[in-house]
Structure 1
Amino acid sequence: MQDKYQKLKQPPWLQNSHGESRRVGVELEISGLDLDALAGSVAQVLGLDVETKGRYERILKGDPDGDWLVELDFDLLKRLGREPRSSDSFGGQLEETSEDILAWAAESLVPHEVVSPPLPLTRLGEVEELITQLRERGAKGTSDRATNAFGMQFNPELPSLEPRLITACLKAFLCLYDWLYVRADINLTRRVTSYVDPFPANYVKKVIAADYWPDLSTLIDDYLTDNPTRNRALDMLPLFMFLDEERVRAGADDALIKARPTFHYRLPDCEIDMPGWGLYVSWNDWVEVERLAADEARLQRCCAAYLQYLNSPLKRLFSNWATAVENRWLDQ
Structure 2
Amino acid sequence: MTSCPPPLALPARSHTDAGTLRRVGVELEMSGLDIDRLAAICSRYLHLPSQTTSRYERILPGDPAGDWRVELDFTLLRDLGREQRAENDLGDELRNSMEELLKWATNDVVPLELISPPLPMDRLGEIEGLIDLLRIAGAQGTSSSVISAFGMQFNPDLPDLRTDTITAYLKAFTCLYDWLAPRARLSLTRRLTAFAGPYPPPYVRQLIDPQYWPDQTPLIADYLLANPTRNRALDMLPLFKHLSADQVLATTTDPLIKARPALHYRLPDSLIDQPGWGLGGAWNDWLQVEALAADRPRLDACCSAYEHHLEQGLGRLLDSWKAQVERQWLSGT
TM-score between the two structures when normalised by the length of structure 2 = 0.96
In 1, are the aligned partners of 2:310 and 2:316 still within 8 Å (CA)?
Answer: yes
1:104, distance to aligned residue in structure 2 (A): 1.3
Tell whether the 8 Å contact from 1:182 to 1:322 is kept in structure 2 after alignment: no
Q: Which residue does 1:98 correspond to in 2?
A: 98
Aligned residue type for 1:74: F
Distance in structure 2 (CA, Å) of the matches to 1:157 and 1:32: 31
Cα deviation code 1:23-73 (max 9, x no counterpart): 000000001100000010111110010111110000111211110000000
Contact 1:5–1:280 (Cα < 8 Å) also in 2? no
SS at match of 2:106: helix
Instruction: Measure how far apart 1:6 and its partner are.
Output: 4.4
Alpha-carbon distance in 1 for matches of 2:248, 2:289 = 25
Aligned mates of 2:105, 2:251 — CA distance in 1: 34
Task: Give the deviation of 1:18 after TM superposition.
Answer: 2.6
**Equivalent residue of 2:197, what SS?**
coil
Task: Provide the C-alpha distance between the structure 2 equivalents of 1:73 and 1:86, rounded to a whole number of angstroms.
Answer: 26
Label 1:5 to 1:176 Cα distance change in 2 as closer, same or farther (>3 A): farther
After TM superposition, list the pairs within 5 Å mapping 1:166-177 onto structure 2: 166-177=166-177
SS of the residue 2:250 aligns to:
helix
Q: Matched residues in 1 for 2:254 and 2:91: separation?
A: 32
Alignment correspondent of 1:151: 151
**How far off is 1:90 after superposition?**
2.4
User: Deviations along 1:106-143, whole A, 9 cap, x unmatched?
Assistant: 21110000000000011111111111111111111010
- Which residue is 1:55 aligned to? 55
Which whole-Å CA distance do the structure 2 matches of 1:103 and 1:185 have between them?
29
Tell whether 2:323 aligns with 1:328.
no
1:92 Cα offset (Å): 2.5
Contact 2:35 2:112 in 1 (8 A): yes
- Give 5+ residue unaligned stretches, structure 1: none
**In 2, Cα distance between the equivalents of 1:261 and 1:7?**
24
Contact 2:13 2:159 in 1 (8 A): yes
| Cα offset, 1:147, TM superposition | 1.0
Alignment correspondent of 1:137 = 137
Q: Secondary structure at the match of 1:58?
A: strand
CA distance in 1, matches of 2:111, 2:68: 16
Identity of aligned residues (%): 55
Question: Structure 1 stretches (4+) deviating beyond 4 angstroms?
Answer: 4-7
Distance (Å, rounded) in 2 between the aligned partners of 1:324 and 1:110: 38
Deviation per residue, 1:155-213 (Å, 9 max, x gap):
00000000001101110000000000011121000001111111011101111101100
- Is residue 186 of structure 1 aligned with residue 181 of structure 2? no
Q: Secondary structure at the match of 2:54?
A: coil
Q: TM-score, structure 1 length as denominator?
A: 0.97
Equivalent residue letter for 2:153 = Q
Corresponding position: 1:116 with 2:116: yes
Residues 237-290 of structure 1: CA distance to partner in whole angstroms, max 9, x if unpaired?
000000011111112231211000100000000001111111001000000001
| Letter paired with 1:218 | P
Matched residue type, 2:189: T
**1:187-206 map, 5 Å:** 187-206=187-206
- Residues in 2 aligned to 1:18 and 1:297: alpha-carbon distance in whole angstroms: 24
Please state how far the C-alpha of 1:312 moved relative to its aligned partner: 1.4
| Inter-partner Cα distance in structure 2 for 1:81 and 1:183 | 37
2:78 counterpart residue number: 78
Please give the alpha-carbon distance, in whole angstroms, between the structure 2 residues aligned to 1:222 and 1:21. Answer: 31
Aligned partner of 2:226 in structure 1 is 226
> 1:270 is matched by which residue type in structure 2?
S
Q: Which runs of 5+ in 2 are unaligned?
A: none
**AA matched with 2:168:** A
Query: Is 1:23 paired with 2:23?
Result: yes
CA RMSD of aligned residues (A): 1.3
SS at match of 2:114: strand
**Across the two proteins, how many residue pairs are aligned to each other?**
329
How far apart are residue 15 of structure 1 and its match?
Answer: 1.3
**8 Å Cα contact 2:8-2:122 kept in structure 1:** no
